[in-house]
Structure 1
Amino acid sequence: MLSNFYNCAELERASSSDHKYQSRLFSSGGSNWRLIVYPKGNVKDNGSGCISMYVEIDSSSLIESTPPTEVFAELRFYVYNKKENKYFIIQDVEVKRFNALKMVWGLLQVLPYDRFINPKNGYIFEGDECEFGVDVIVAPPGLTNWEILSFNEKLPRPKFSWPLKNFSTLKEDVYTSNRFSMGGKQWTVKLYPKGTSEAAGKWLSIYVNLVDSETLKPDEKIFKQAHVRVLDPLGSKHFAYQTKRWHKESCMSWGWDEFLSLAELRKTYLDKEDTLNVEVEFNVVSSIKYSPII
């Protein structure tokens, strides 16, 4: 841990033209680091009005090589409170990857400046002293096995529509939609107009599938949250179910044997041209990135 005492007024005066103060270099995990403090916030990083704190790896710690040198580290920032005799601690929740393209990581809003500067709150003590610190916890060399799971909730075109014309005269047991892309994966919809074997003759069966060409790793799972609808041609009462499922290698398809009764479908959900309109709206699709590519 690096812990530095500062005179608050001198800290602000010693700040550079960017209104930041840089500590001396310190060593952790075989690399050299520097704590950077913006007493009144890093305006360029939307930190105005708050103390901003960052850690920068020294360029000499990054050896030019192929592939480029990378250092993974956890960051834990401290501001000492004399009144409570303890540190105000903020830890970044993710391990950060330092390399030649990204040498600085940190937090833009650690503590409101007005709260910090008020001596009654305990961060300024013994006249005009204050203390900042940081722990840089470096992952051991050779960190090659990792994965990052993310959930994409801002899909640019979340809806897929599928009209099935002449529904009442469809002859096949199952129909498959065209492929469509969602969340970086390829999907299809399978529809059984007379139901699966478990629901034959009475129910419409619908399934949402990852296409066979989407090769998943043995333990990889893809999460989807979506609404599957049969649209009311009058637009007043669409019939819908929500699905929240993990797709994996052994189970690429999820759906309903008894989605909608055929009696209700014929009564309400066919338009004048005998078309059934099916819609799938995706809300969330997960993705996983594996080492060594991020």
Structure 2
Amino acid sequence: MKTGILLQEILKYKRDFPPADYSLKVDSYTLLSESKTEKYDTNVFEVGGYKWRLSFYPNGDKKNNGSGYISLYLVIAETDTYAPGWKVNVNFKFFVYDQMEDKYLTLQDANGAVRRFHAMKKEWGIAQLLPLETFKDPAFGYLVNDSCVFGVEVFVINYTGHWESISLVKKPNNGTFTWKIENFSNLDKPDYWSEVFNVEGINWKLNVSANGDSKAKDKSFSFYLALDNWGSHPMKKAVYAEYNLRVFNQLDDDQHVEKKASNWFKYEIGWDFRNFMSLRDLRDASKGFIVKDTLIVEVVFLVISVADVSSVRKSPFPLKNNPFIKRPSTPST
């Protein structure tokens, strides 16, 4: 069954580079058009794992309103070994070489339509590709010295089954982690890491610099949130989080020092506060932040991104609404 694309559905423009997949050069066009040959079928070529050929009508496909035009079709070939019910979804472009301008007239579906090839419909094309009057006029450059060139590009849409989803989770489960740092006055290293904790399948850790980091040394208490062992995470995806970092006031619940932040986390780089609070206030025993040489800090996740990358076996689309459910079948071998 042959199906043609209507003229009003065709987008035309010219480009400099030739067709990527297959070209047909016709020498002695006049002899071909005057012969008893209704059409010329090219040799088979392969694109996207399937076999194709062009079907060229030098005087138009008269059976499909192509009289007075050049007609050109893309035909799927050698389908005998394909599995029953096979379908191949394709977006394609046709080309006619303008030899005067050294450009290629490109013709394609104006709305980017995907054409489906199957056992009952093995051809798609344009019955009214070019008016013969235009095609034969030397001023247009399509037929020069009785020679012309046509071409095609075929994009086969193969559903791989790979997909990704992302969602933002508000107030995630187990989204609070509290770290009690004992013997605080004895901390003499540049920084310290908490134990690893997990929120929504992602490992995190806290980092503190008891005397401030290199740019806040002896001035401010530095407090960071970071991913743990990000390089081993199978998806290597950045993670978004909104969160509160808190230093507890152990004498007055209304006097905790708390700062809110939001960041995209990637690698094991800590965010956020180099100058979380002054060391003077932190170490002032009367203020209640350090009691019995113990400092208590905490992170509370407010929002966290959760991403999933998988295959068709766990498709995010309901079967009845899955846009890919009628995917091309793989030819049997």
Structure 1-normalised TM-score?
A: 0.48
Structure 2-normalised TM-score?
A: 0.43
Q: Kindly indicate whether structure 1 or structure 2 has the higher relative contact order, using CA contacts under 8 Å at least 6 residues apart.
A: 2
Greater Rg, structure 1 or structure 2?
2
